[in-house]
Each structure stands twice: as C-alpha cells, then as structure tokens.
Structure 1
Amino acid sequence: MSVPQEVSHALVDGVRYPQALTRLYGRDDVSEIEPLYLTTRWASLADHGPILVRLNGAGLLDELDADDDLPRALSLLQSDASSEALSDQLRHCLTFTVDGQYEKLLRFADPLVTRHWLASYGDAVPAALMGLITTWWVAAWPPNWEDASPLVWQPFRPDDGPASSTAAPAPPFPPMGPAQLAALEAVERWRLKERLTNHFAAHAPKPWQALPPAERGDWIDARLDDAIGWGATTERQIAIWVDLSLHGGANFMTAHDGLYARWLAEQPPGARPPRPDSLYALDTWWREGERPPGGIVTSPTVLSPSSSSEVPHG
C-alpha cells in the first residue's frame, strides 16, 4: 500500500527520530510543532517524546516512500481539528494505570507500539479513544527474522461509539484491558526476538541460517517460553538459554546426553549450583570448553542500550 495522501498531521516519536525538534523546526513542510511532553512533568524529555506536527504539502509523505527508517519513526493522522485540540486529546494517552494502582508511560508515538496497541481493540478502535482522529495510519513491516516483504500502511478507524471531545475523558483512560496489556508485552517480545536475530545473524550464522525463515519466529517463541518455564527471569538468562538452544538443541537442558547432562557429569558430587547460577555455569563451560568459535549471547550488546542485562523480564 502506498503512503496515504489524505493526511493532516504526523505523530513523530522522538526516540525513533533523533534530535527530533531540531530536525522538525528545520523543515519547511511541517508546522504547528507540538511536543506533547512540553506541558507535563516530562517537559525535560520533550525531544524524546511524542511530537505532533501539521503537514504543509507532500514533502514528508514523499520522504516516507524513499526512507526505510522514517515509517518506523512516525504515524499519520487525518483530523479536521486544530493541532492544539488534537494535542490536548493525545496528552490523555501519555500514561495508563496498571491494576488501578500505578501509572506507566505509553509510548504510543512509536509505530510498533501504536500498531500493536490499536490493533488490540479489534476491527475498530473505540471512538472515545480516537476522538478527533478520523483515520490513523501506521506502518506495518515484517520482523527481521522473516523474509523481507513490502511495508504497508495499516489504517485504524473509530467504531460507532460516541467520540470524546477536547474535554478530559472519563477515567480510566486510555482504556487498557487485558488485550491491550498483552499487546504491549508482544511489542517487548518482538524487540527481544529482533535483538536475538541480529546477534545470531552476526555471530552464529550457520546454525541460524539452517532454520527456515518461516519457522524462526515460532522457534524463538518456543525457546523463550521454555526459558521462562524453567525459571529464567532476566533478559540475560533468557538470551543465554536461546543461544544454548541454537547450538545444543532445544532439549539441551533435559536430554540425557545434552549439554546440561554433560556439564553436570563433570561436577563434583553435591556441587550443582542453584538456578540461575547453573545456567551461568553451563554457559561458561560451553563457551570455554565444548562450543566452537562463534560468540554467545551473554553481553549487554544483545539487549537494548537502555536496559541492563539483569533487568527482570516481563
């Protein structure tokens, strides 16, 4: 699907579009630049948050056709409302309440989050949430573990319910039920799978390429579930598990002749460490003793730059 043309605004994610405000103010094809964090307690992060801009002409839309990264940094909106009114509406989505107890930021300007979040409502998004927006287009691209295919623009439109006005909508808002929370978890898993894919493609290309592209996503999902079921709780532990599975087989922990059994046979009686120390010890033994050269996913480089390798997963 080509880039939509009936578009009034773009919603830019400052994290995905570095130095966003400097770059946007330097363009002559956008105006009415509204950093949504600017009037909130996150004002100091305005350059990294959601930024609404009105489009002047087709310059930005034409650029979307030529730049593979740009559709991953913004989404497109059609609205007859003013930029000020639209910004006021979108600010109500900056945070959501979890279990009625604490607030979390919703990075709804990040297209990967946007697409999963809006799709979680079903065939049509609640009109109360869409408010002044008549159509919200979000880029959809294949994950890096699949074969490449063309990017498409997925439209989201409101259902037939009553739309909200610029007045503050009734809480809880935005409406975040189990399906929406599951969608946000799916985004985190998608990103972890892409980081693992990047690592394997660079450091373990032979076993990785032996997996058919159509099966890689399900294979990683199964290994992530295995790791969590075993008791892995941090991204480092999970990444080690997936790496050992790629090199030693999916049953490396349970097979009678698997990696774990061979490592355990070399340990003194009663010296088996508890979880997760046994996973770290197995990892070290495999890297230093049995495994061929090719790297292992144990460093923070496989994780997002802002995350610790021992941050709890989920």
Structure 2
Amino acid sequence: MSTGIHQANYLLIDGALHPHAIRYLQQRGEPLEIDPLYLGTSLAPIMEQGPILVHAPVGTSLIDEWQQTPARHEHAIFLTSQAPLQTVARHLRHFIKPPDHLGNTSLLRFADPVVSHFWLSSYGQKHLNTLLGPINDAWVKAPVHQWQASPEEPVTRFTRTAPPEDWNDRFALLGEPQLAAFEQAYQWLFMRQIHAWLTEQHPQRFAAHSAEQVQNWLERVLDTGQAWGLISEYAFVTWADICHTWGLDFMERADSPYQHWLALFPEQKHLPPELRIEALDDYCHTTLNATDATHDG
C-alpha cells in the first residue's frame, strides 16, 4: 500500500465503473458528503455515470474498507484535502470538459484511475501543483495488465509540493503531452479488452506465453490493425481473432489463406477498411469451418 494513503479523507468514484454508487453510498448509514460532479452541468441527466466526489469524515469506515479492497482501487481515486467538499468539487469541475491546445474540448473521465494515472503522469511537478489546487495528495492505482507482474508499489502518489494558487483557466488547458497520455490510456484499456475477449473465446491462447510475449503480440495486433486502417473497437477485435487464427504474419506469408482470399475476391481488397475486415472475417470462418469439417470426417 502506498505510504500515507490512510490519510485520505475523500474518494473520487467513477460512476461508470461502479454502477449505482450513489445508492450504495446513501445506504451505508454513515454521515458522508456526496457530490456527483456532473450535477449542475449539462451532463446532469447522466450524473450517476460520472465522477462522484465523497467526503468521509473521521470515524467513518468507507475509505478504510476501500483501501483494504484492491479491486475497488480500479473504480476510484483516493484524495486528501483540508478544503470543504464544495471547494474540492468546484475545482474538479474545471476538468469535466477541458480545452486542448488544438482548440477542441472533450469529456475527460478523470475519475477513471487508468485515465487519471496517465493524465497526471504527463505533467511536470510545477504544473501538477496548479492542477491539484486544494488537493494535497491523490493516490491512483498504477495501470498494470493482468498478464504482467504486480509492481512493488501498486498505487502511485501524486503530491502538491507548493501552496495552491488562485484558479486560472489556463491550468486546465491540455497540451500535446496530455493528448498523448490519453492515447496511451485508450491503448492500454483497449489492449485489456482484446486480451479479455481472446482469452474468453480461446482460453489457451496465451497459456505458453511470457508476459513480454503477450504484450508484444497485442501491440503488434494494434499496430497492424491501425496500418490496415481500422478504427472501431469491433473491427480491432475481429482483426485480433484473425491474427489468432492465421498468425501475426498472415499478410506476408505466400501460402497464407489471406493470399487465397485476395485471389478469389480481388474486388474486396478495394472495400473501405471496416467493410474489408468483415469480408475477410467471413472468409476466415468459412475456411476454419471447412478445415474442422475435414478433420471431423
């Protein structure tokens, strides 16, 4: 457990990752202060799916229970602050839809520990100080895949090392390092999703692989899928399944079923990437079923 986490007196829960969190908190029978951060914004209709700030006074058991339950660390961030709930909530609302240096604004899911870890890690200490504002410390679960070894310190501590400054809108501006961090977070989450789907469909897929081999295989799947022009998550999962069936090098091998597909259906290679992968997947399953029928016979 990260040093000092027992000092936390706030929880920032991701409502999308912990459904019905507000009802759960209200039913605990403790004097908790609860503020759904989407409340009072245009996102109020979906406030239960957004970040939920909880102040747990001394003597309540909520934070101790969450600290002692590692699975809960995937749903929330632990915070310390001497400021009242309204002050911390007002500060955090600045980051719901922050602007970026390209002139865009987008929803930032900063209560998701994976997103928050990559986001906070993208700042130098001076900017981190202004970002944290009234928050003294934030403890965030380090993003580690299930096929990787657990780190010695599973929770990362982000600390403000200077007095908080008066708010300036430029503090929330997202620069190139932050946009790159969000891309890393997305890739991390997507890689986890592909791994989970493949191991559910093919339980022995990675049984004989080391952590490094699993990581390299999944990275190669994402790289080659992007080179193909894929965009949607469904298309990438389909691509990963084809890579599992035919091998990562299926496009380069002269004897690959992929080459047979190109020869049989030359017109399909001109389809847009998302349609082309559907056509290729249909052919992959057709050949697979034909092979299974031959073996059964």
Specify the TM-score bucket, using the shorter chain as the normaliser. Answer: 0.7 to 0.9
CA distance in 2 between counterparts of 1:152 and 1:29 reads 28
Q: Mapping of 1:1-314 within 5 angstroms?
A: 1=1, 4-29=5-30, 31-56=32-57, 57=59, 59-122=61-124, 126-147=128-149, 152-160=154-162, 163-165=164-166, 169-267=167-265, 270-275=266-271, 276=273, 277-290=275-288
Q: Which moved more, 1:151-160 or 1:131-140?
A: 151-160
- Which is helix-richer, 1 or 2? 2
Deviation at 1:75, TM superposition (A): 0.9
Report the Cα distance in structure 1 between the residues aligned to 2:25 and 2:205, rounded to whole angstroms.
44
Equivalent position amino acid for 1:8 in 2: N
Which moved further from structure 2: 254-263 or 272-281?
Answer: 272-281
TM-score, L = length of structure 2: 0.87
Match of 1:301 in 2: none
**Superposed displacement of residue 235, structure 1:** 2.2
1:147–1:265 distance in 2 versus 1, CA, 3 Å: farther
Counterparts of 2:24 and 2:151, CA distance in 1: 29
Calculate percent identity across the aligned residue pairs.
Answer: 29
Structure 1 range deviating more: 194-203 or 284-293: 284-293
Secondary structure of 1:172's match?
helix
1:67-100, Cα deviation, whole Å (9 max, x unpaired):
3431111111111111111111111111111345
Q: Unpaired segments of 5 or more residues in structure 1? A: 294-314
Residue type at the aligned position of 1:34: D
Deviations, residues 223-255 of structure 1 (Å, cap 9, x unaligned): 211111122222222222222122212111122
Distance 1:80 1:272, change over 3 A: closer
After superposition, the C-alpha distances for 1:90-136 in whole angstroms (9 at most, x for unaligned) are: 11111111345332111111111111111111467521111111111
Distance 1:125 1:135, change over 3 A: farther
In 1, are the aligned partners of 2:140 and 2:157 still within 8 Å (CA)? yes
Q: Contact 1:71/1:139 (CA < 8 Å) preserved in 2?
A: yes
Give 1:258 deviation, angstroms: 1.7
Cα distance change on mapping 1:248 and 1:183 into 2, 3 Å: same
Shift of 1:148: 5.7
Distance 1:152-1:273 versus aligned 2 partners, 3 A rule: closer
Measured against aligned partners, the alpha-carbon deviations of 1:37-64 in whole angstroms (never above 9, x if no partner) come to 1121212222221111111335123322
The answer (yes or no) to whether the contact 1:137–1:155 under 8 Å persists in 2 is: yes
CA distance in 2 between counterparts of 1:223 and 1:30 reads: 49
Unaligned runs of 5+ in 2: 293-297
SS where residue 188 of structure 1 aligns?
A: helix
Give the 3-state SS of the residue equivalent to 2:99 in structure 1. strand
- Alpha carbons 2:97, 2:108 under 8 Å: kept: yes
Checking the alignment, whether the CA contact within 8 Å between 2:101 and 2:173 is kept in structure 1 is: no
Paired residues of 1:11 and 1:77 also in contact (CA < 8 A):
yes
Structure-1 separation of matches of 2:124 and 2:209: 32
Residue type matched to 1:243 in 2?
Answer: D
Q: CA deviation at 1:65?
A: 4.6
